Amino acid sequence: MTERSIDGEPQRIAVAGDDAVLAEQRGHVLLVTLNRPEARNAVNRAVTTGVGEALEYAEDTADVWCVIITGAGDRAFCAGADLKAAAAGELGGDDERLRRWGFAGYVTHHISKPTIAAVNGFALGGGTEITLASDLAVAADSAAFGLPEVKRGIFAGAGGAFRLPRQIPDKIAMEVMLTGEPLSARRALELGLVNRIVPFDELLPAAFALADRILANAPVAVQVTKRIAKGITGGKVAAEDADWARSATEGAFLMTTQDAREGMRAFAEKREPRWEGK
């Protein structure tokens, strides 16, 4: 590896969230870590603001050429939304930045710098949606991916419902979303959802090695290439506007249904839900 790799001396970058997110610049790479292992790195307001501010720093700092996002611990990359925080309305609210950045401060936070998800454990629901929003992904061989929201009477509202069918074969994506069943890391690799899988203790070195291959190229050329490939203009992707509008409309309807309420109750009560189809 070069001096820009994981072996470089890290520089801690201050972000909001009381250490729910750690940001370290190592050479030209910004390493962003979801740091709630006791909560399986579930996303609350602190995580959202921390990740969002880290990406803002990356975009505004000429010396950052690539971003790696990972989770703390060896079990979970991200378990999705913290349901207590979501129920309290902490994931939205009156912060315009959170609305613009989307779930986890990430899924609609379109930056020019390439992003790599280093998936250190299971990445179900929001964890898969963070992976889908990343440009590249490296996964531990113990990782798992999936969108199990339908098992709780809800849906993958952070981009999963329309991004997954665009990144893996449509019928496989529909099976994953309509059954709620997970994909192994090996299957995710076969489908092209991730670029490579490695043993857990090789995960960050592999992510930094991939970043180093990007860093060998002209950074502005890389950023221009990403903006063209992703359709990013002024930090927005206009091609997804209709998808997000549809998700908002359908999500608002879904949350009025008895099944959505029953799914949340059943989860809280640790029992199987009793669906009524209304």
The model's pLDDT over 218-229, given as tens digits with 9 standing for 90+, comes to 999 999 999 999
**C-alpha closest to that of 123 among 80, 157, 69:** 80
- The total number of residues written for the chain in this structure: 278
Q: Is 149 a catalytic residue?
A: yes
182 touches 188 (CB < 8 A): no
Q: Which tokens belong to 66?
A: 């690539």
**C-alpha closest to that of 91 among 122, 117, 57, 126:** 126
Domain 11-240 classified CATH 3.30.9.10?
no
pLDDT tens for residues 130-144? 999 999 999 999 999
- Give the pLDDT band (50/70/90) at residue 267: confident
Residue 2 has pLDDT above 60, yes or no: no
| CA-based max dimension of the chain | 59
d(CA 93, CA 100): 12
Strands 21-26 and 11-13: antiparallel
d(CA 214, CA 68): 12
pTM score, whole prediction = 0.94
Q: Which of 3, 9, 59, 129 is catalytic?
A: 129
Stretch (H or E) spanning 262? helix 258-269
pLDDT tens for residues 112-128? 999 999 999 999 999 99
End-to-end CA distance of the chain: 56
d(CA 54, CA 60): 10
d(CA 223, CA 112): 5
Q: Is 129 a catalytic residue?
A: yes
Beta strands in 157-198 (DSSP E): 183-184, 196-198
Least confident of 25-29, 67-71, 83-87, 243-247: 83-87
Predicted pLDDT of residue 9: 77
Predicted pLDDT of residue 264: 84
Residue 4 has pLDDT above 90, yes or no: no
Q: Which of 53, 149, 250, 269 is catalytic?
A: 149
Residue 85 has pLDDT above 90, yes or no: no
Predicted pLDDT of residue 88: 64
**C-alpha closest to that of 153 among 247, 259, 277:** 259
Between residues 93 and 257, the one the model is more confident about: 257
d(CA 156, CA 163): 10
Mean pLDDT of the chain: 93
Predicted pLDDT of residue 91: 67
Stretch (H or E) spanning 152? none
**C-alpha closest to that of 208 among 269, 136, 146, 147:** 136
Mean pLDDT of 72-93: 81
Break the chain into its structural domains and give their ranges. Answer: 11-240
Mean pLDDT of 7-12: 78
Predicted pLDDT of residue 213: 98
Mean pLDDT of 244-255: 96
- Give the pLDDT band (50/70/90) at residue 183: very high
Tokens 């091609």 correspond to 239
H helices, E strands: number in the chain:
11, 12
